[in-house]
Amino acid sequence: MKTIFGTKNIPTIQKDLKECGIPPHLCLQEAASRMIKPINSFVLAKEEKDGFIQIVGNLKTHFYYVSSLRKRISKDKKLKGMKSHAYHVMMQEILLLCMKNLMEKGCRQTIIRLSYVFKKLCAKVMDPTTMGDLKQDVASTLVLLEWVFPPFFFDVMTHLLVHLVEELELCGLVHTRWMYPTERYLKTLKRFVRNKARPEGSMVKGYALEEALGFCT
């Protein structure tokens, strides 16, 4: 999100790219004793950002599917304060909806292809015979990302995508190992705390009380 909104594309990084000589068309250009920032295909224009934020703000989702993204839109029309699950839903579902007519065709198709890879990784049903095809999809998608995005986009998290396929093959389906249900239940336990000096005792008492009320109901 920071990359396509231009937050990470700062002059300091562009100067480093110029010193390395890669890629020349993304580096700062000197003209009349001042530096000109090039127009990058992977950064949304102002009108595209407004359209993206408008789509996200108007989304209506099921309860517990994702947190209210409308509340995450800041005054300067940026998405802030999002948690890991919201980013996951954004990558897997919402980007496919928002990126239909934004950016250049090659850059847009690369991002959409990345979203489809995540959808395959997080599917609730997986055919073991298609694991080889998924590995090839991940490899080709990373190659396309390297073709479209500058070097500062790539870090250890981008490379992790390769190992997620191996983890899927060794450990089974992803949704059976997600942390999200545990995090949501921890929020429920935190609501039981009345005495901050004894939080664990409050959680035990609140849990027992809720179980008893549920049984009586």
pLDDT surpassing 90 at residue 65: no
pLDDT surpassing 90 at residue 204: yes
Q: What is the pLDDT of residue 76?
A: 78
Q: What is the pLDDT of residue 14?
A: 66
Residues β-bridged to residue 79:
73
Q: pLDDT tens-digit profile of 73-96?
A: 888 788 888 888 888 888 888 888
Q: pLDDT tens-digit profile of 51-64?
A: 888 888 888 887 77
Q: Are 206 and 192 in contact (CB under 8 A)?
A: yes
Rounded mean pLDDT of the chain?
82
Q: pLDDT tens-digit profile of 151-187?
A: 777 778 888 888 988 888 888 888 888 888 888 888 8
DSSP state of 93: I
Q: What is the pLDDT of residue 30?
A: 66
Label residue 74 left, alpha or beta by phi (over 0 means left) and psi (-120 to 50 means alpha): beta
Q: Return the percent helix, strand and coil in the chain, to nearest 5.
A: 60, 5, 35
